[in-house]
């Protein structure tokens, strides 16, 4: 049972006397911030009283009179200006806890109305190695697929890989002109990645050469305008001051971008080899685009190369997913939808939605600066066209009711246009949601890059994390004691290696998941693998500590779990921990309704805090009597199972010894 929802539901009939729309007022029943005021608190009397022009304490009193919660709570108390404090009866907390203990689902109910979700996540552009930017979508999306499934929804996870885009034209061009056959034989994906980078570098170089004089011109104009504005501005006029500030920022940004362009050019010109290649391939960007166009047009040579490259790229991706323990039900890349694109455009035209504009076909939607371009003037279909075909496929073939796009915030305009277009286009109603997220930043608070300015490769990042985790695990030698002052468990090499993998990968995932997904975050090794604070390591230690207690006490878990002893909650620390454990379902439900895994990490972290308080006040193995000992063993077993299940829904593993 979701206690919070149950209490809110109980408020509805009681609120009906005071308002026509009780729902938002019922939602003002919240978990208390301070246990002294009870377990839950309703703050609805004050706003209602204000609305009705009556005394809030009196309104609270009549509300309490109507409220029927006597089976769950002690008599409600009215405090301060009209807060209603609710304390669950101890026997209710006890029975919820015992039920959760006996339940494989730990007391978490399945949703009443399951929906069919398609979760589109990870979705990297293949033919380039995965980098740190792919981490967020992969781990957030995976955690969501696990959570929605656990809640009882039906989920199809779909890796919408970019396997048909311009990067293929680039590697095809690179392969035709620059391939190192031996390197390709030895490590095809590595060589393709090198070719991609090379073609990119060369086209960037030519673009920069063209752009530099334009940028210089722009800076001159901006500087001139600023100077004139400064000369004539009235320093006491706030509006003018603000405008000047804006102009200055723009100028600074333009100078920055010029600097970057120049450094790109200097870098290439300093490298004789690169410079020669650049001179020999002045038209590389256009020619690479032509290779893409040829591929899309069915050119047999390019099709053959694509057929050869793609499986190798997929194999490389798969090894990262295996390591991350991320699975997809489907991997339907952009190429899959290629045969459907012409029909999509024709249908949009037939319905009067797509119109011609400068030779391109566009869907114009009021209120948007840019149209949704579904076919370019040269006949090429776009990312937009593919996404439209994909929605149609997911509705018609996969029966999707909801599609979640776990994609970074920079694509929010695209998804906005996609949603608006679909709304006008398809007859079936479909709930499309952009589950957007921010950027992973380096210590310099700019997007996380290697020293040489490259994207940080995802595989090397995982390796590094596991290496660091190995140090953490290695430091746990026999001279150390665990949190209870007992010697740390002895671990052989093989076990340590396995633990390091679990701690290293878990650390990276948790560090990502525990942030509010919309914010950018700074990648920080030290914080990530610390064994105190809001980290996976801390949660994993909490789990291992529980099992350490079982080991020391010689507890047989099967026996413990099937024994008929009940959990008793005599100490406030026991009650508080137990109540938190009973609220696991609430946490999962909130993850589901907001697509925010950080609500689960937050729950687990708070719960682990309750567990620490409990240990501080209550002995387990040395409890006063057998009944209490049994009850406490069961309580920590439940806590361990909640940690394990919670981490599993985040895609993180645990170990019984660390």
Binding site for ligand ARG (CB under 6 A): 120, 123-125, 160, 162, 387, 390, 405, 407
b (16+ CB within 10 A) / e for 328-357: beebbbbbbbbebbeebbebbbeeebbeee
Q: Which is nearer to ligand ARG, 120 or 534 (CB)?
A: 120
| Smallest distance, ligand ARG to C-beta of residue 390, A | 6
Nearest to 107 by CA among 646, 653, 652, 558: 646
Q: Which is nearer to ligand ARG, 133 or 442 (CB)?
A: 133
| Smallest distance, ligand ARG to C-beta of residue 162, A | 4
| Smallest distance, ligand ARG to C-beta of residue 407, A | 5
Q: Which is nearer to ligand ARG, 25 or 415 (CB)?
A: 415
| Smallest distance, ligand ARG to C-beta of residue 455, A | 12
Q: Which is nearer to ligand ARG, 341 or 620 (CB)?
A: 341
Q: Which is nearer to ligand ARG, 75 or 339 (CB)?
A: 339
| Smallest distance, ligand ARG to C-beta of residue 405, A | 6
Q: What are phi and psi of 440, to 5 degrees?
A: -85, 120
Cα–Cα dist 497/501, whole Å: 6
Q: Which is nearer to ligand ARG, 162 or 507 (CB)?
A: 162
Angle at 606 between CA 600 and CA 611, to 5 degrees: 120
- Please answer whether residues 423 and 431 qualify as being in contact, where contact means their C-beta atoms are separated by less than 8 angstroms: no
Cα–Cα dist 395/117, whole Å: 10
Cα–Cα dist 45/50, whole Å: 8
- Please answer whether residues 182 and 193 qualify as being in contact, where contact means their C-beta atoms are separated by less than 8 angstroms: no
| Smallest distance, ligand ARG to C-beta of residue 125, A | 5
Q: Which is nearer to ligand ARG, 138 or 598 (CB)?
A: 138
DSSP 269: H
- The 3-state secondary structure of 438-454, one letter per residue: CCEECCCCCECECCCCC
| Smallest distance, ligand ARG to C-beta of residue 404, A | 10
Which residues lie across from 131 on neighbouring strands?
A: 457
- Please answer whether residues 595 and 518 qualify as being in contact, where contact means their C-beta atoms are separated by less than 8 angstroms: no
Helix or strand or coil: residue 373? Answer: strand
Q: Which is nearer to ligand ARG, 389 or 469 (CB)?
A: 389
DSSP 353: -
| Smallest distance, ligand ARG to C-beta of residue 473, A | 35
Q: Which is nearer to ligand ARG, 175 or 336 (CB)?
A: 336
* DSSP labels, 600-638: HHHHHHHHHHHHHHHHHH--STT-SSHHHHHHHHHHHHH
| Smallest distance, ligand ARG to C-beta of residue 382, A | 11
Question: Using CA of residue 456, residue 462, residue 463, residue 464, what is the dihedral sign?
Answer: positive
Neighbour count for residue 247 (Cβ, 10 Å) = 17
Q: Which residues contact 506 (CB under 8 A, 6 or more apart)?
A: 536, 537, 540, 647, 652, 653
| Smallest distance, ligand ARG to C-beta of residue 330, A | 12
Q: Which is nearer to ligand ARG, 407 or 529 (CB)?
A: 407
| Smallest distance, ligand ARG to C-beta of residue 437, A | 12
Q: Which is nearer to ligand ARG, 123 or 535 (CB)?
A: 123
Start-to-end Cα distance in the chain: 34
| Smallest distance, ligand ARG to C-beta of residue 124, A | 6
| Smallest distance, ligand ARG to C-beta of residue 137, A | 8
| Smallest distance, ligand ARG to C-beta of residue 410, A | 9
Helix or strand or coil: residue 469? Answer: helix
Q: Which is nearer to ligand ARG, 192 or 639 (CB)?
A: 192
* DSSP labels, 271-333: SHHHHHHHHH-TTHHHHHHHHHHHHHTT-HHHHHHHHHHHHHHHHHHHHHHHHHT---SB---
| Smallest distance, ligand ARG to C-beta of residue 458, A | 13
Q: Which is nearer to ligand ARG, 387 or 610 (CB)?
A: 387
Cβ-in-10-Å burial (0-12, 13-18, 19+) of 479 comes to exposed
Question: Using CA of residue 389, residue 394, residue 397, residue 402, what is the dihedral sign?
Answer: negative
Taking CA atoms, 595 is separated from 63, 435, 534, 627, in Å, by: 34, 7, 20, 41
Q: Which is nearer to ligand ARG, 160 or 583 (CB)?
A: 160
Rg (Cα) of the chain, in Å, rounded?
Answer: 30
Cα 18 from chain centroid (whole Å): 41
Q: Which is nearer to ligand ARG, 74 or 408 (CB)?
A: 408
Question: Using CA of residue 332, residue 336, residue 338, residue 344, what is the dihedral sign?
Answer: negative
* DSSP labels, 36-48: GG-SEEE--HHHH
């Amino acid at each position: 049972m979701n206690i919070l929802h149950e209490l809110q539901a109980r408020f509805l009939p009681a609120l009906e006397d005071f308002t026509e729309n009780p729902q938002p007022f019922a939602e003002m029943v919240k978990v208390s911030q301070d246990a002294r005021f009870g377990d839950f608190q309703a703050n609805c009397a004050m706003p209602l009283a204000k609305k009705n022009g009556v005394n809030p304490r009196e309104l609270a009193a009549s509300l309490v009179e109507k409220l029927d919660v006597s089976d769950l709570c002690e008599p409600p108390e009215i405090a301060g200006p009209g807060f209603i404090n609710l304390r669950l009866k101890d026997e209710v907390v006890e029975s919820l806890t015992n039920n959760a203990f006996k339940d494989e689902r730990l007391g978490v109910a399945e949703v009443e109305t399951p929906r069919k979700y398609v979760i589109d996540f990870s979705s990297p552009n293949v033919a380039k190695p995965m980098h740190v930017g792919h981490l967020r979508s992969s781990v957030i999306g995976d955690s969501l697929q696990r959570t929605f499934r656990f809640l009882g929804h039906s989920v199809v996870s779909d890796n919408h890989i970019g396997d048909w885009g311009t990067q293929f034209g680039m590697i095809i061009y690179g392969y035709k002109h620059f391939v190192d056959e031996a390197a390709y034989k030895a490590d095809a994906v590595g060589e393709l990645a090198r070719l991609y980078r090379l073609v990119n570098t060369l086209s960037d170089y030519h673009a920069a050469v063209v752009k530099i004089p334009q940028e210089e011109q722009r800076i001159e104009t901006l500087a001139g305008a600023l100077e004139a504005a400064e000369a004539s501005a009235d320093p006491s006029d706030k509006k003018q001051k603000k405008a000047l500030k804006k102009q200055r920022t723009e100028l600074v940004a333009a100078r920055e971008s010029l600097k970057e362009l120049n450094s790109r050019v200097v870098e290439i010109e300093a490298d004789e080899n690169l410079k020669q290649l650049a001179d020999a391939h002045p038209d590389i960007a256009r020619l690479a685009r032509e290779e893409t166009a040829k591929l899309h047009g069915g050119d047999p040579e390019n099709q053959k190369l694509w057929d050869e490259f793609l499986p190798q790229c997929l194999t490389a991706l798969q090894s990262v997913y295996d390591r991350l323990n991320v699975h997809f039900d489907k991997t339907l890349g952009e190429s899959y939808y290629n045969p459907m694109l012409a029909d999509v455009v024709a249908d949009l035209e037939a319905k009067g939605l797509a119109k011609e504009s400068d030779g391109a076909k566009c869907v114009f939607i009021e209120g948007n600066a840019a149209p949704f371009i579904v076919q370019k003037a040269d006949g090429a279909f776009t990312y937009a066209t593919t996404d439209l075909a994909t929605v149609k496929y997911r509705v018609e073939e996969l029966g999707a009711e909801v599609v979640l796009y776990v994609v970074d915030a920079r694509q929010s305009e695209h998804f906005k246009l996609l949603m608006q277009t679909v709304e006008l286009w398809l007859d079936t109603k479909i709930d499309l949601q952009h589950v957007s997220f921010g950027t992973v930043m380096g210590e310099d608070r700019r997007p996380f890059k290697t020293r040489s300015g490259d994207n940080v490769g995802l595989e090397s990042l995982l390796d590094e994390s596991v290496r660091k985790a190995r140090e953490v695990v290695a430091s746990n030698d026999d001279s150390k004691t665990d949190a209870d002052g007992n010697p740390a468990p002895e671990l052989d090499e093989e076990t340590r290696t396995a633990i390091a993998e679990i701690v290293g990968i878990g650390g990276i995932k948790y560090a990502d998941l525990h942030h509010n997904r919309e914010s950018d975050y700074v990648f920080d090794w030290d914080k990530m693998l610390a064994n105190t604070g809001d980290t996976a390591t801390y949660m994993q230690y909490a789990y291992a500590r529980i099992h350490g207690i079982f080991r020391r006490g010689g507890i047989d878990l099967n026996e413990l779990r099937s024994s008929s002893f009940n959990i008793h909650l005599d100490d406030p620390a026991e009650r508080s921990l137990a109540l938190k454990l009973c609220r696991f379902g609430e946490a999962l439900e909130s993850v589901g309704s907001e697509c925010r895994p950080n609500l689960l990490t937050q729950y687990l972290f708070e719960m682990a805090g309750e567990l620490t308080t409990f240990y501080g006040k209550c002995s387990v193995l040395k409890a006063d009597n057998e009944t209490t000992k049994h009850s406490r063993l069961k309580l920590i077993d439940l806590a361990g199972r909640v940690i394990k299940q919670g981490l599993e829904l985040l895609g993180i593993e645990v170990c019984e010894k660390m």
